[in-house]
Copies of this chain bind each other. A is one copy, B any other.
């Protein structure tokens, strides 16, 4: 994927809003219609719809219309993008730790050598 980074932008930004996170939380326990989802929020429907569209464009949810009702559902796979990024980060941290460790080991070895030479004198 060449637009991996842009996708991440979208996913993280979608998650950067409490309304949208709440919607995702709700969808975690099963699909729901727009008005069901909107009910808990003191917000005009068109404003709420923007959040839904944002979530859909980020790929975190899917929506489908049947009759006059649009049903939204979670796209769980998309969440793994976040997990993926997190583990990349941890991998970098780990690599650093490993480098530091080998430095320490090298230094310890050096010190032992010094000591030995001192004794052999």
A residues touching B (Cβ–Cβ < 8 Å)?
5-6, 8-10, 12-13, 15-18, 21, 24-25, 28-30, 74, 76, 79, 82-83, 85-86, 88-89, 92-93, 95-96, 99
Is B15 touching A12 in the complex (CB atoms < 8 A)? yes
Q: Which residues of B contact A88 (CB under 8 A)?
A: 25
As for how many copies of this chain the complex holds, the number is 2
Q: Which residues of B contact A17 (CB under 8 A)?
A: 9
Q: Which residues of B contact A9 (CB under 8 A)?
A: 16-18
Is A79 touching B89 in the complex (CB atoms < 8 A)? yes
The one of B74, B79, B93 that contacts A28, using a Cβ cutoff of 8 Å:
B93
Chain A interface SS verdict (over half): helix
Is B8 touching A95 in the complex (CB atoms < 8 A)? no
Q: Which residues of B contact A24 (CB under 8 A)?
A: 89
Q: Which residues of B contact A82 (CB under 8 A)?
A: 82, 86
Cα–Cα distance between A13 and B12 once the two chains are bound (Å): 6
Cα–Cα distance between A74 and B12 once the two chains are bound (Å): 19
Chain B residue at smallest Cβ distance from A18: B5
Cα–Cα distance between A17 and B10 once the two chains are bound (Å): 9
